[in-house]
Every structure is written in structure tokens, then in C-alpha cells.
Structure 1
Amino acid sequence: MAKKKIGTVRIGVGGWTYEPWRGTFYPDTLPQKRELEYAASQLTTIEINGTYYGSQKPESFRKWHDETPEDFVFSLKASRYSTNRRVLAEAGQSIERFFTSGVLELKDKLGPINWQFMATKQFDPADFEAFLKLLPKSVEGRTIRHVVEVRHESFRNPDFVALLRNYGVAAVVAGDSEFPQIADITAPFVYARIMGTEETHPLGYADKALDLWASRAKQWAAGETPKGLESVAPLKADGKPRDVFLYVISGHKLRNPAAARALIERVDGGAGGR
């Protein structure tokens, strides 16, 4: 009997430059210029946050590409100038500038683009659809995967979920946070950001919570629907394999790399490292 196909599960953190990680995640003797290389040897993906605040240089993307393993993937937060605006339909030029800023220098290591919205941004069906229409399906022949991170309760609306399914865009699954949870499957991949690490746990989460998130990641990858998450307009699980991107974000940031490592080990069946 053929083994069921499943998607690839990638787990990581937000960024790699954080001084308190020196001596806790990074070895004390590691030169700072080698932090990305080390982080990429321990994790399977990283969400780049700096692209949200401003453009990065093309040579930076090339450098990040060259310093990471062949199968490593970066997700990028898109420019805030595209999402932090009253009329989203007017974001076209900003979106175009983002994709011509050098992000394609990541080549095959370019993962999903996270379009993050402020918690005050409310759902306007017509304007949000206009925004989705502006998101390119491909740039210079490279397929682009999009995910939206919405943080206002008004987005917990079946019409919003229907729009995402129509355009093949994912919604961030917010875990262990104050933000509304929209765990509906709307795209060929799943993108989760879990924000509940605590100082009291050496691995950021208790073992039971780590086991739960690892199980959810594997279920998503197998095309199944994990229990215990809040959906708006759920569909029956289709069994189609999906790639999964799971980031340990916020919470007690010092513990985030340890939590990500613990999740990788659980998903890989106890195998440490890469």
C-alpha cells in the first residue's frame, strides 16, 4: 500500500538578530555575522520582519540566500505601506515596489508573503477584494504565495473566508494570542503564528502544548482538520497534502528558538537537527 503523501512542515521564529539569544540559543563564541547560518542549521524557516518596516537591499537578500541550506525557506512580512492605509485598493504601487526591491534574490528560498494588517483595520468586503486582486500570482515566472494576517474581529466573517478561497490566499492562524483565530483552510498551504511562549517553561511551552501544536502541524500537512481551533466557514477535510509554515512569535521571545526546536523534533519523530 502506497504511503500517503503529506506536505512539508517548516518551523521557525521571527528574525534571527536578538541579543538575548546570545548564550541561550547562539553559542557564546559564535561570531555575530554567522548567526543566520547557525539559526538556519537549527530551524527550517525564518519569518523576516525587517521587510515590514522598510526596503532591504538586493545584496542582503542574496547574502541571506547564500548563507542558508539549500532547502531553507524565508517568509517575508510585506511592506506596511501596502497594508496600513485607509483604502487598500490604492496599494498597487506599494505592492509593486515591494516585489521589485530585491526579494526575488531569495530564489527558491522565497516562501509566503505575510500581509499584516493593524488590529484597528476592519473588514470592508469590496475594498479587501480589490486588495486581493492586486496581489500577483507570479513575479518574473516565480509563483508567489500570499497570506493575510488580519487582527480585527470583523474578519471572522464567512464572506472574508470565501474571498480568500476564491483567490487562493491563506489566513494566518493565530495561536495562543489575543487576536481572532481564523483556522479555515483557504489556500494550498497553512501559515500559523503561535504566540504563547512563557518564561516558566524551559522550552517556552509545556510538553502537552508542544505535542498539540506538533500534532496540528502534521494533520495540516496531511490535509486533515485539527480539532480545537476556531474556524468561520469550515469545509470537510479534503486529504490534500499541504505545506505548513509554523512560526513561534512574540510571547516570551527568549524561549522561542527552544520552542521551535522542540516542535521540529516532535514533527520529525524525535530526530534532532536537520
Structure 2
Amino acid sequence: MKTLRNLLLLFFLSLASLGLAQETITNESVIQMVELGFDDFMIIDKINNSDVKFDASISALGEMKDAGVSSEVLSLIMAKSRQNTKSKTGIYYTNLQGEQEIIQPSVFSGANSNAAAQKLVSGLINSKEKAQLPGTKSNNVLSTSSPEFTFIFDPSVTDVDNMQNNQGGETGIFNWWFRMASNPNEFVLVRLTVKERKNLREIITGKNSWITSSSGIDPKYALNFNIETIEGNKFKVTPDTLEPGEYCFIYQGAVPQGRDNQSVFDFSIQ
């Protein structure tokens, strides 16, 4: 009986240890440890032996300093934040459950042009090139008109053959946008036009006439957003208030040889 009791105790202790190992330490966790009277040695040891998810923006660090977090602990938090940006590149948003979730790129399913109409009127109008996404709604649903996004880059790797990385727990997803770019200014935010009858969303990506042609997103369609550096290659992006509808971030920088820019990072505002 005693042996069985010891085995059960060992089993429950193992479960408890597993739960602690999976605990994620955040800014709030550190502040809580300070309030509970933990010394720096204990806090630093806990950070070094746990998964972490820190906000190392200036405002967040200021809040922690005001809460009594020491300079030594703040330095460690900044270092951990820099380490966490590696191999986690992409655009993140806060989902309906309050968790950070990555926006996987959506690929254009086709393109449309009214070039034939333009020819009929001998250049009196421009033909518009439109890229299309399937479906009338994005899988990434945000329930706020004032969303915040986190952009994470890793421009240290620019060799095309080395731009593969693990993303969202899946291997082999090609995420070159955040290797080529170094900040959110290389992306543009636009609203997608929803075509209910055709079950698609589209955006104008170019114009042509018998005299001139242009490609890319017209600046008049670009929506404003603010950028705050969190740490290193990690940024907080806050658009101006967005009305309910379909939107996407589109990369507008240099495209590596052998790749095309036929994907966008789409989301819905509800």
C-alpha cells in the first residue's frame, strides 16, 4: 500500500512539474512575482527556465519599472525578447480568445482585367488589373475596430536558399517577406472590395492605357497606420479606426529572384 501511495505521489508531482514547464512567463507574471516579494535571483531563474512572451516596448518597460522590477530583470527581459523574434517572423493579431495568432499568407486565386473594354474606346479609359482572393471573408477575424498587430522580421537571412523557416508549428512554409523587409513601412494596408455574387474579394493592383501603365497599389487606396518599435526587429502596428469589412497587408518591397508576390495577409473586421 505504501509503495502504491508513493507511486501515485510521484505521478502527481510529475504532472505538476509538466504544468510548470509549460507555463509562459509574461510582463504581468514578473510584476506579480515582484509584488509577492520574490528576489531578483528567483525571478531571473524562473525566466531562464520557462517559456516567455515579453512585451519589451518602451511603454511596457516603463510600467514594469514603475512596478518595482529591477534593472537586472528588465535587461534580461529585453534580451529574451530579442531571442524570441528569431524563427517567429510574420504578422500577428489577437484572436477572439485573446491569444496572439499568426496571419498565414493567402494566395491570389486569379486576376481580372478590363483591357478589352479599354481597347474598344481607344484608350479613353484605363484598364484595371485586379487580384482576387477566394471567399467573401477572411479566416482571421478581429472583433475590434482598433486592432493592434505585431510585425516580426529577421533580415539577417537574405539568401533565397536559406529563407525557409518553421512557422506556426508547420515546417516548410516560405516566409521570405519578413526576411527581405526590415520594418512595416515596406507593407501597405488596403481594404478589399467584396464581390458577393462571385464569392471573392479583390484589389486593384495596376492600371494600363494605350500610353502608360502602372503596377502596385495606388497610394490613394493605402490606409494609414502607426508604427512603434517594440524591440529590435519587432514592431507594433496600429491602424487608424477600421470600419467593418475585409482588409489585407500587402508587401511592396523588393521580391527575391525566383519568387513572386502573389500573396497577402488578410483579415476581417467585424
User: What is the TM-score of this pair, normalised by structure 1?
Assistant: 0.25
Q: Which has the higher strand share?
A: 2
Which protein shows a greater Rg?
Answer: 2
Q: Which has the higher helix share?
A: 1
User: What is the TM-score of this pair, normalised by structure 2?
Assistant: 0.25
